[in-house]
């Protein structure tokens, strides 16, 4: 439906001296091959065929449209539905249904043939004027023969992609079309090393279902060492349901802009409005409001019964309200509605999204673009060059971050308020472990071996909750105490607990687009501001994953005693030798650095260089004193 407007835009681009790039998903090659199987090869030079999805729809209609009479049968107290049959045991046709099926079949057959977007563009501009890099081995081409326009099927050489790409780079053709299979590993940017340095107008003609693939396609026209960055254009129609496909693309393009500019606030450069994204809290809140109004009958054009019947999206069951569906599910189901009803519902949804955003902006709580990580303290303790572009010399940097967050514990007042909510709660103290808590009976659990019910309790301490069997608790060192004693001990414990939690991670910043697909894991882009005021924008990589990232770029992580110590204190396990690793363990409520992987052969060596050993629950464990940790770690590495 968008092809006529797209063709007009491409014509305007060519007239202005630009180089249009078309990103597509489907080539219809499989459908074309299926159609040609029934046609002799000698007739391939003058084809009159339909390779639209019409045949699939007609096959479905022929096999699935119900045309037989059904009847209910009562048997053994149950009701069954079965085909009605005549005296010869043949199924009885419903003549009205047969007529409806035939009328619908004729209506579909009379619809005009619509070729794929790629074929329409090739037909209009001519195959000789377009560099096609799709990987398909067969395509349709229009050509002139004795003043007649004909369509032929022509096989493409396996090296056609390379030849067409060179034509585009050498400025022999101005238009390039590529798909995922043809775009992998290729670059179509306005490189300063090639003749074709025209401004790229990159059209996302078909986004497909995978936003990640679409975004990776954008990287083909946007590289370093280029005459200018491309202009991205999302091709859509006035059918509102299509926003299902463009919404997530728009949101990720905003992130892409934020990466290139280094600022979250200017990520989309005005290309997209805030309401273009349907994947945020404002859109989800708007959907909840819309669903509520449909339930209340406030939308005269779309009752609850109509929506449920036409989409199969059920919002209540036996009078009880069901949860509001996720946005993607709602949008998928909306595609089944008539265009007018789609647009009607989207107009209401859009209006509510705009209202929510306006209210958030007015109150000063509006958030957009890239997520900013907030913490009590953020420090970059180490910077490592990960990769360098061979042409521009721009670098990708791995920043090791130490982050401190304020730990919010349960205060004395909060604890006492929680206790009053449970009539059976007990204030208790354990002299052996020097811990204070309150105990609350909870649900029972069934023993899998005996089938007996075992009563459980929750022990709520200032810093964590544990679950214990009631019988074991009653025989333990936990004893009841007064409210005054409980308050005093609880506050003493709070005073002893650390005020901050420390975590460590890496944020990969700098030049990201060329290596985007080499960074595995979370695709979200985040922003930090360090204690020194430095703003860094990039991909966050955990301590667990960073080693694989460094290996991908054939780099080694710097492992000094200080970095190992910081990694462990930050809550991550760290390898110190081929067999030894360190981790942060909680023992009797205190955090300690534990040595893992040791054996009796090196046990005495560890003790000799400053480690300590304790027997806990009949298990020998080895620890490094935190106050001497860096020195002891250094000795372990050297020995």
Dump the DSSP string for 604-631.
HHHHHTT-EEEEETTEEEEEE-GGGHHH
**Is it the case that residue 479 has pLDDT exceeding 50?**
yes
| pLDDT mean over 531-536 | 91
* Predicted structure pTM score: 0.55
β-pairing verdict for 19-23 and 200-204:
parallel
| 13 and 144 together in one domain | yes
- Compute the mean pLDDT over every residue in the chain, rounded to the nearest whole number: 85
**Is it the case that residue 230 has pLDDT exceeding 90?**
yes
| 216 and 355 together in one domain | no
**Is it the case that residue 368 has pLDDT exceeding 70?**
no
| 71 and 20 together in one domain | no
| 66 and 129 together in one domain | no
Domain containing residue 92 = 54-110
| 85 and 120 together in one domain | no
> Which pLDDT belongs to residue 175?
96
> Which pLDDT belongs to residue 316?
79
| 43 and 153 together in one domain | yes
> Which pLDDT belongs to residue 269?
42
Structure confidence by residue, pLDDT tens digits, 565-613: 877 887 778 888 888 989 988 887 678 899 999 988 899 999 999 999 9
Query: 266 falls in which pLDDT band (50, 70, 90)?
Result: very low
Spatial separation of the C-alpha atoms in residues 267 and 512, rounded to whole Å: 15
> Which pLDDT belongs to residue 321?
79
Contact 560, 631 (CB under 8 A): no
33-42, 197-206, 270-279, 415-424 — which one is most confidently predicted on average?
197-206
| 216 and 294 together in one domain | no
> Which pLDDT belongs to residue 270?
44
Spatial separation of the C-alpha atoms in residues 570 and 502, rounded to whole Å: 5
Q: Is residue 540 part of a domain?
A: no
Spatial separation of the C-alpha atoms in residues 612 and 594, rounded to whole Å: 10
Spatial separation of the C-alpha atoms in residues 314 and 21, rounded to whole Å: 42
Spatial separation of the C-alpha atoms in residues 518 and 497, rounded to whole Å: 41
CATH code of residue 123: 3.40.50.300
Q: Is residue 501 part of a domain?
A: no
What Å distances lie between residue 144 and 32, 115, 116, 315, 566, CA to CA? 21, 19, 21, 57, 73
| 327 and 461 together in one domain | no
| 35 and 158 together in one domain | yes
| 119 and 185 together in one domain | yes
Total number of domains constituting the chain: 5
Q: Is residue 532 part of a domain?
A: no
């Amino acid at each position: 439906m968008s092809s006529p407007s797209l063709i007009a835009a491409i014509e305007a681009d060519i007239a202005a001296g630009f180089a249009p790039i078309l990103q597509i998903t489907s080539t219809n090659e499989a459908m074309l091959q299926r159609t040609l199987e029934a046609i002799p090869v000698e007739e391939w030079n003058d084809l009159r065929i339909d390779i639209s999805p019409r045949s699939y729809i007609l096959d479905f209609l022929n096999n699935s449209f119900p045309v037989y009479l059904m009847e209910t049968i009562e048997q053994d107290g149950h009701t069954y539905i079965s085909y009605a049959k005549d005296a010869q045991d043949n199924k009885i046709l419903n003549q009205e249904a047969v007529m409806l099926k035939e009328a619908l079949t004729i209506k579909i057959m009379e619809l005009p043939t619509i070729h794929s977007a790629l074929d329409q563009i090739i037909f209009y501009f001519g195959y000789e004027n377009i560099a096609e890099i799709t990987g398909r081995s067969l395509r349709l081409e229009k050509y002139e023969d004795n003043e007649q326009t004909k369509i032929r099927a022509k096989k493409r050489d396996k090296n056609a992609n390379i030849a067409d790409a060179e034509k585009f780079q050498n400025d022999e053709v101005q238009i390039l079309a590529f798909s995922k299979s043809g775009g992998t590993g290729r670059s179509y940017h306005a490189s300063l090393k090639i003749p074709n340095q025209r401004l790229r107008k990159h059209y996302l003609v078909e986004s497909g279902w995978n936003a990640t693939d679409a975004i990776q396609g954008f990287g083909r026209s946007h590289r370093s060492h280029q005459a200018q960055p491309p202009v991205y254009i999302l091709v859509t129609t006035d059918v509102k349901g299509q926003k299902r496909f463009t919404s997530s693309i728009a949101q990720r393009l905003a992130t892409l802009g934020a990466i290139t500019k280094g600022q979250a606030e200017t990520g989309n450069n005005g290309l997209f409005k805030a309401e273009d994204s349907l994947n945020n809290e404002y859109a989800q809140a708007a959907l909840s409001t819309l669903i509520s109004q449909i339930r209340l009958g406030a939308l005269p054009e779309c009752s609850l019964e109509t929506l449920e019947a036409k989409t199969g999206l059920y919002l209540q069951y036996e009078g009880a309200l069901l949860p509001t569906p996720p946005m993607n599910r709602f949008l998928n189901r909306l595609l089944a509605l008539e265009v007018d009803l789609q647009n009607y519902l989207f107009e209401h949804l859009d209006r509510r999204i705009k209202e929510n955003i306006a209210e958030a902006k007015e109150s000063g709580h509006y958030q957009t673009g890239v997520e900013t990580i907030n913490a009590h303290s953020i420090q970059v303790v180490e910077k490592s060059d990960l990769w360098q572009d061979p042409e521009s010399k721009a670098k990708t940097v791995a920043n090791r971050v130490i982050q401190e967050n304020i730990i919010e514990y349960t205060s004395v007042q909060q604890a006492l308020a929680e206790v009053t909510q449970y009539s059976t709660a007990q204030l208790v103290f354990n002299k052996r472990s020097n811990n204070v808590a309150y105990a609350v009976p909870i649900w029972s659990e069934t023993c899998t071996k005996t089938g007996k019910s075992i009563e459980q309790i929750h022990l709520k301490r200032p810093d964590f909750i544990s679950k214990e069997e009631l019988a074991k608790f009653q025989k333990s060192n936990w004893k009841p105490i007064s409210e005054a004693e409980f308050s005093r001990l609880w506050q003493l414990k709070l005073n002893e607990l650390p005020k901050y939690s420390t975590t460590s991670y890496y944020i990969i910043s700098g030049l990201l687009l060329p290596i985007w697909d080499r960074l595995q894991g979370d695709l979200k882009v985040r922003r930090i501001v360090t204690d020194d005021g430095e703003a860094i924008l990039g991909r966050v990589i955990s301590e667990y994953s960073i080693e694989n990232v460094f290996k991908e770029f054939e780099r080694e992580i710097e492992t000094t005693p200080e970095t190992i110590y910081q990694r462990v204190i930050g809550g991550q396990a760290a390898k110190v030798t081929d067999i030894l690793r360190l981790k942060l363990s909680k023992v009797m409520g205190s955090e300690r650095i534990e040595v893992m992987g040791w054996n009796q052969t090196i046990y005495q060596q560890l003790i000799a260089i400053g480690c300590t050993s304790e027997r806990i629950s009949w298990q020998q464990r080895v620890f490094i004193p935190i106050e001497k940790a860096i020195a002891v770690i250094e000795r372990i590495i050297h020995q």
